[in-house]
Amino acid sequence: MTDSDNSHNVVEAAVEKPKELAREAERGRSERTPWIALTGVTLAVGAVVAVVLALALLLYFLV
């Protein structure tokens, strides 16, 4: 196996894992479902907070 094959497998696994977790959360039959959902909500809220904070700081320092 070459380095190219190995890096292709790593990238493919990194792409498939989120899809697999999303399917698992949608089914809702796993013990991990609440944690998967909570992680998604935390990431989404964190992204919104980061954008609002960045805009607030830009307005504060530029106006």
- DSSP output for 2-15: -HHHHHHHHHHHHH
**pLDDT the model gives residue 36:** 87
**pLDDT the model gives residue 54:** 98
**pLDDT the model gives residue 3:** 56
Return d(Cα 27, Cα 45) in angstroms, integer.
23
**pLDDT the model gives residue 47:** 98
**pLDDT the model gives residue 2:** 57
* pLDDT < 50: residue spans in the chain: none
Radius of gyration for the alpha carbons in the chain, expressed in angstroms and rounded: 18
**pLDDT the model gives residue 49:** 98
Helix, strand, coil: what percent of the chain each, to 5? 85, 0, 15
